[in-house]
Amino acid sequence: MSLQSHTEDLVLVQDTGPEFQGFKNVVHTIKHTSHKSIGKSVMEGYDWLYNNDYDIICNLDSDVLVKENWLTESIRLVEQYPTEIVSAFNEVNHLKHCVVKELDNHYLKNCGGGIHYCFTRELYKTFVRPILAKIEVNGDLNYWDAGIVERVQAKGKYIISPKPSLIQHIGVKGFTSKGALWQIASDYVLSDEEITLIIDIPELSVLIPKQKTVSQQLKNADLPTIKKSDLFAAIGNNRNYTPPPDIDIPGLSHLIPDRTPPKQYNHSLPLRDTVLLGEELVVVFTEPLRCEKPFTFDLQVIIEGTNYRFDREELQVVCEGRKVGFQIDPTVGIDVEQVMGKTFTVEIGKVGVDSLSNIFDANGNAIENNVKFS
């Protein structure tokens, strides 16, 4: 396959949501009569493409804006890096914390969300599919991309991303979004046409540059209803369209349940010695956490040399995926001058001998030691 000759086919995975129409090159549609996890939908699309001899396999969320060259550029990077995963979406926090190397027109990162992945058929068989199968056995396919990222990091591999992003996420309702716009690419440049499309959707106003003005706006009645959907478009190239036998990957029958406790991954963020009052601190873990409220873990912040001691209920705490973030609200009666320049200590997990709390991963494994830093 060459850049000049590739043709893309689409597999639509319809997860009980509204019917999507108008797509070209749709070769197969998978419909769910009841909701399935996000990762299961992705696996079904991936497997169908693998079983039908596609050379390059991709997934793409339905609630995105894309540039015209998003697929061509993704294929170019896959051809340049055939042993790595490509994603044309640079989530804002991933740009801050996951870039290992920046090149002229792309990044080498050690993380990247599953809104868009692209890889070779061989990499799916040897790398992506086995980890998805393991996650499925553990019952955690809603966090499928976190599992892939964990394996990328463990194997010293990269997620390759063009710069700037060629895909922008615009979903405002979903598995973890809770009705707010989340996971956006800060380096995606909106065209005037794209601004016109989203300008009357209040939740998306944060994406529009302040200096931009649009002379013509769509009427509200013409605007699409944009919400998170578990519909994925899987793209590939097929030169021989005869379906082979079902996928057969050695070793999948020997999987065992997850009994590995979560651990802190690297250092807390931000990676510097000083923190601004009201700035979010983030601790990243090696696997997805149990984040349902009320939270299962204690969190305590002590500002040394003062009487200030804050527990979880007095902090603004966010638990999502593999991270726990928190910040001290400066508006709750803190003497700013008293705390400026002071050292503080943080402890997350089971705080106090009588506490029954702890940090648990999504499969119920408890962390062995509290997270502590100052």
pLDDT band at 181 (very low <50, low <70, confident <90, very high): low
Residue 159: closest CA among 111, 127, 93, 120:
111
pLDDT at 237: 45
Which residue did the predictor score with more confidence, 39 or 162? 162
Q: Is the pLDDT of residue 100 over 50?
A: yes
Which DSSP string do the residues of 50-118 spell out, in sequence order?
Answer: HHTT-SEEEEEBSSEEE-TTHHHHHHHHHHH-TTSEE-S--BHHHHHH-EEEE-SSEEEES---TTEEE
Confidence (pLDDT) at 306: 87
Query: What's the token pair of residue 305?
Result: 């040399």
Q: Which domains does the chain have, with CATH numbers?
A: 9-254 (3.90.550), 281-373 (no CATH)
The predicted-structure confidence for 323-339, as pLDDT tens digits, reads as follows 898 888 766 677 777 87
Check: CB of residue 347 under 8 Å from CB of residue 372. yes
Q: What is the average pLDDT across 28-35?
A: 84
Mean pLDDT of the chain: 78
H-type alpha helices, the chain: 38-51, 70-80, 92-97, 121-123, 129-137, 144-154, 192-198, 336-339
